[in-house]
Amino acid sequence: MTYNNLEISTEDKIGLITINRPKALNALNKETIEELSNAFGELESNEDIRVIILTGSGEKAFVAGADIKEFKDFDGKQGQQLAQVGQTILFNKIENLKKPVIAAVNGYALGGGLELAMSCHFRIASDNALLGLPEVTLGLIPGYGGTQRLPKLIGKGRAMQAIMTAEMFKAEKAEQIGLVNEVVALEELLPRAKKIASKIAFNSPVAISKAIEVINLSDSDKGFEAEINAFGELFDAEDFKEGTTAFLDKRKPNF
């Protein structure tokens, strides 16, 4: 499939999606959101791909936010539809994808950009990253899941303060509060993300898919039951047989 706003590459079981709108600091517009949805669907269905990395082109921005020009004249109904469609076709889709998604956050990750990064399964940031949800400065609140995902990552109190003040976090602070997993130099960002992705790609894709599913239920009352059921189901999978056999044979498993 041809994309106007994305670059897609694959190598060694890793898919790389690069948002490529450098003149707009990779801001999310309707077309880009739709293309991202299609790209994630394409890579999820590709059996050769085990892990997906998402990043932005250039050194300045992962995604600097939503494209405000597209919705500045919207009414309430249109605004609600904007949030609902975006969450459904992209942000929730990434969070529940069967394959792990790593956000490689380079530069600005603001508004919808931070919401996009938070929908990924975890985040690695460059040392020049700046993350925040400044929607209240526009008279809005985050609409792509930011009010729900940020408290889970940094705690309710910190999320309240960050959203109400439109506070922006430098990379070091973001790591301290758990918004990103680690911080590396800009030139090391993609190599580090690929190194982590390679470690994941070595492991059982069936088990990893189940882990994503169950971890996403960890803040609900269904989490423990889901873990028990998933644990049992995996005993019937071929990967379990291969993994245990390889362990006993003292060799690397071939998943």
List, for residues 195-230, the tens digit of each pLDDT value: 999 999 999 999 999 999 999 999 999 999 999 999
Which position among 35, 59, 135, 187 bears the catalytic label? Answer: 135
Task: Provide, rounded to the nearest whole percent, the portion of the chain with pLDDT above 70.
Answer: 100
Nearest-10 crossing angle of helices 146-154, 156-165: 130
User: Is the pLDDT confidence value at 238 over 90?
Assistant: yes
| Mean pLDDT along residues 134-150 | 98
pLDDT at 1 over 90: no
Across the range 59-74, mean pLDDT stands at 93
Q: Is the CATH number 1.10.8 carried by domain 204-249?
A: no
pLDDT in tens, 74-93: 999 999 999 999 999 999 99
What CATH topology corresponds to 6-201?
2-enoyl-CoA Hydratase; Chain A, domain 1 (3.90.226)
Both tokens assigned to 252: 């690397």
CB 63 within 8 A of CB 106: no
Is 115 annotated as catalytic?
A: yes
Is 95 an active-site residue? no
Where is 51: in which H helix or E strand? strand 51-56
Domain positions in the chain: 6-201, 204-249
Edge-to-edge order in the sheet of strand 108-110: 61-63, 108-110, 130-132, 168-170
Q: What pLDDT score was predicted for residue 79? A: 96
**Active-site residue among 11, 115, 188, 233?**
115
Residue 15 is predicted with a pLDDT of 98
What is the rounded average pLDDT for all residues in the chain?
97
Q: What is the pTM of this model?
A: 0.96
Mean pLDDT of 162-185: 98
Question: Residues with Cβ < 8 Å from 141, sequence gap 6 or more?
Answer: 135, 147, 163
**For residues 45-73, average pLDDT:** 95
Residue-wise pLDDT for 10-53, tens only, equals 999 999 999 999 999 999 999 999 999 999 999 999 999 999 99
